[in-house]
Amino acid sequence: MMRTYDALSQLDSLDERFDYLSLEGSVGNPTFGFDRYINQQFYRSREWRRMRDFVIVRDMGNDMGLWDYPIQGVPHVHHMNPLTTEDFEEASDNLMNPEYLISVSHQTHNAIHFGDRTQLARGPIVRTAGDTRLW
């Protein structure tokens, strides 16, 4: 299944978008092993930095493109579909097509990769009159 920005934008809640993007990986599993230099060169390229800026502006600096979740700190641009060394070697459409990219916070990026929804940033706690409970 190819995840797309168009499909993601049809989902209204943080949880729905997380479920759509979640990779349910596990800590410690290398994604590129000894070939990690390939993706590191790509992420330093001028073309990637331009695309990254485009996606952040398109998403207006919001986490997973949700208007009520502004990213605090440095935004990351997440490839919605896992990349392989072949994607880099063949310059596949998956690398630079904004349809396959989304702005996320560092915290959300980790949550997506590890399938841990507890890492997601939640909105502020709404207080009401007579509310005596601490956060």
3-state secondary structure 45-90: CHHHHHHHHHHHHHCCCEHHHCCCCECCCCCEEEECCCCCHHHHHC
pTM of the model: 0.83
End-to-end CA, the chain: 40
CA distance 108 to 112: 6
Q: Calculate mean pLDDT across residues 29-33.
A: 56
pLDDT digits (tens, 9 = 90+) for 67-110: 989 998 999 999 999 888 889 889 999 999 999 999 999 999 99
Domain ranges of the chain: 5-119
Positive or negative, the Cα torsion across 19, 65, 49, 106?
A: negative
